[in-house]
Amino acid sequence: MSIYEEQVPKVPLTEEVGDKPIGSLYEALHNQLGTLLDYEDSVIFINDEINDHTLTDFIIRMRSLLLHRKDKSAPVNLMINSPGGDIYEMFGIIDYIETLDVKVNTICRGRAFSAAAIILTMGTGNRMMSKRSTVMFHQSSSFLGGKMSDITAYLDNVKSLEKIIYGMLASKTKKDADWWKNKMRSDCFLTAEELIEIGVIDQVI
């Protein structure tokens, strides 16, 4: 169950509150999102596993934040504390960030592993981490079963996706795609100093 399914009442898009129509999903959610977003400081959070609800929740929160905050041009601060998760959801979050007219600062507080580490790296503003946070990159992982032809097709797709990831990381850091491919063959934990040196983050806070 999504965090919104737990905390936000189901309100039809055409329902009226008093004499004012809601008009959109984002308006309907606005008052309920106060505890999940920091409108004053333009902060949004990814603080759990990245799963099949994360992208939708992220877009809803981002749209609400951009709609209701006072300073429309200020960067958004994306606070990350996540063990990683689904690669397709990760791509969707990054693609959406890159469509925005405002910069998105990415900030790791706690951990950014796997897919979360890639989101951290792909921030369009300043990329930061607190000094005791941990960042880890690695190859994609999966548990496979079924026909050999299906397994082969799946593995071919994973290789294509990993090639895309290595290129993305190369575009935002000082290391090329081959370096990332070799580095991510096993779990790769990097210190804050190493992350700054190779260009994953810009600042330790």
- Tell me the mean pLDDT in the region 105-110: 95
Residues in contact with 115: Cβ distance below 8 Å, sequence separation at least 6, in sequence order: 50, 82, 84, 85, 86, 87, 89, 90
- Stronger pLDDT, 180 or 39, i.e. the higher one: 180
- pLDDT the model gives residue 160: 81
- pLDDT the model gives residue 141: 60
pLDDT band at residue 39 under the 50/70/90 scheme: low
The per-residue pLDDT for range 60-86, each reduced to its tens digit, is 999 988 988 888 889 999 999 999 999
Residue 98 has pLDDT above 80, yes or no: yes
pLDDT band at residue 96 under the 50/70/90 scheme: very high
Full DSSP string of 19-31: TEE--SHHHHHHG
Give the percent of the chain with pLDDT over 90.
56
Domain ranges of the chain: 1-36, 37-204
| Whole-number average pLDDT of the chain | 80
The per-residue pLDDT for range 127-176, each reduced to its tens digit, is 999 989 999 998 776 555 566 666 666 566 677 889 999 999 999 999 99
Task: Say how many CA atoms lie within 13 Å of 120 toward its Cβ.
Answer: 34
The CATH superfamily label for domain 37-204 reads 2-enoyl-CoA Hydratase; Chain A, domain 1 (3.90.226.10)
- Per the CB < 8 A criterion, the answer to whether 128 and 109 are in contact is no
Residues in contact with 159: Cβ distance below 8 Å, sequence separation at least 6, in sequence order: none
Residue 90 has pLDDT above 60, yes or no: yes
- pLDDT the model gives residue 147: 67
Distance CA 75, CA 97 (A): 11
